[in-house]
Amino acid sequence: MNRFDLLNKIQNFLKDNLIICNIGLPSQELYKINDQPNFFYMLGSMGLSSSIGLGLSLSQTKQVISIDGDGSVLMNMNTLATIGNRAPSNYTLLIIDNGSYGSTGDQRTFTDENTSLKDVAVGAGCKKVIECSGEETLNELSKAIEDKNNSYVIISKINSGNVKIDPIPLNPITIRDRFRKFIGIVKYL
Amino acid sequence: MKISKKIIDNLKKGGVDFYLSVPCKLLANMIEILENDKDVYYSAVPREEEGMGICAGAYLGNKFPCIMMQNTGIGNSVNAIVSLLQLYQMPVVFLISYRGTPGEPVGAQGGMAKITEDILQTLRIPMLHCSSENDLDKISTFSKHAKVVESPVAILCDFNLMKDDT
C-alpha cells in the first residue's frame, strides 16, 4: 500500500472532519481522489501541517486531523513536544510514514534507517501513540476520533511510491475561505 | 510590570485572544500576566516557526493570534511567514522584544538587530516600533490593522523600553 492507496481507503472518513494536509503530493493526491471544502491544502511551509492542525484544534471544537509525512515531521520535531503537552482531545496527527521524501523524488528519510517517530512522539510526551500498517489505519483512525478524552498520534507505515499528478489549481484564498465557511466563520460565500 | 501590562491590555483591546511565546527575559512579565489571564489562550512553544503554524491554525479556527518572541525568531520563521501566513493572507501579530538595540548588554545580539528591520521590510510586514511608553497607545489600532489588511504585522519593543519594567 502506498500513500495514494491509503488516502483512497480513508477518504470517506475524512469527509466530516477538518483536515490539514501536507504540502506536495499528499495534498495533490487528496485533491485528485475527492476534493472537499473541509480540506486545507498546504501550498508551502513544509513541516507545519502538525502545527497548523494543533492551532486549529485549540481554537474550535470540531475534530481535526493533520495529515503529515515522515520527512515533514522530521523537519519540525519540536512540535511533537507541544502536542504532547497541549493537544486537546479533538486533535489527531496522522503521520503517513513511507520512509521517503515522496514529493522530491523518493529520497530515503531517517525513518527508513534508525529513527522511530513512535519513540520520538512517546518521548515528547504524547500519551496515545499508535504505529500501524496501512491496512490497519482506518480502524485506528476511527478509534482515535471516537475517543473524546484523548488526542492521538498515528504513524501509518506504508510503502513509498507516487502517482503522476498535477499541482492543485485552487488559489490559496479560495482554500482558506471555503475551509472557514465549512467551520461556519465565513458568511459571504 | 506597568509597560508589560499596558502592552497586553492594548493587544486585548485590539482583539488578540490567542498568545504563544518563545521566551525572552524582556517578555517574562507579559508571559506571567498571560499565564494568569483566564480570558485568553496562552502557551509557550519551543520554536518560532512552529508557532507560525499554530497561529495559522488558530486563525482558521477564528482566533486572532499573537506570537511573542525575540527578533531572532523572525530569522527562524521566514519561510513560514511567506509561504503560509502571507500566502493565505492570515492576520497574526508578532510582538517582538528587540534585542541588540541600545542598552543591550549582550554584544552577540547586535547581529540580528542590525538586519531585523531590513528583513521585515523585505517581507513587506507593517511595523510599529515602540521606543517610549507613549508608543504603546498605538498597539490596539495597529493590531486591528492586521485584520483589516489580512497580513501579519510586527510590533518591535526596544530593549531600553522593556529593561526596567520590573
- How many CB atoms sit inside 10 A of residue A73's CB? 28
In this complex, the residue of A49, A54, A172 whose CB is nearest that of residue B87 is A172
In this structure, which CATH number among 1.10.760.10, 3.40.30.10, 3.80.30.20, 3.40.50.970 belongs to the domain B2-162?
3.40.50.970
pLDDT of residue A13 exceeding 80: yes
Residues of chain B found within 8 Å of residue A57, distances taken between Cβ atoms: 57, 61
Residues of chain A found within 8 Å of residue B90, distances taken between Cβ atoms: 176
Residue ranges of E strands in B2-135:
18-21, 41-44, 65-70, 93-98, 127-130
Annotated domain spans of chain B: 2-162
Is the pTM of the predicted complex or chain greater than 0.90? yes
Grid coordinates belonging to B100: 541588540
pLDDT tens column, A92-109: 999 999 999 998 999 999
Contact (CB<8Å) B61/A59: yes
Band (pLDDT 50/70/90 cuts) for residue A189 is confident
Residues of chain B found within 8 Å of residue A19, distances taken between Cβ atoms: none
pLDDT tens column, B31-41: 999 999 999 99
Q: Which of B41, B60, B82 to mutate to test the interface with A (most CBs of A within 10 A)?
A: B60
Please state, in angstroms and rounded to a whole number, the distance separating the CA atoms of residues A56 and A51. 9
Burial degree of B158 (CB within 10 A; 0-12, 13-18, 19+): buried
**From the CA of A126, how many Å to the nearest CA of chain B?**
15
pLDDT tens column, B5-33: 999 999 999 999 999 999 999 999 999 99
Give the pLDDT score at A162: 87
Please state, in angstroms and rounded to a whole number, the distance separating the CA atoms of residues A171 and A51. 22
Grid coordinates belonging to B127: 511595523
Could you tell me the domains of chain A? 3-183 (3.40.50.970)
Residues of chain B found within 8 Å of residue A54, distances taken between Cβ atoms: 53-54, 57
**Residue A124: C-alpha distances to residues A74, A138, A151 (Å):** 13, 25, 14
Q: What angle do CA B142, A181, A59 make, to 5 degrees?
A: 60
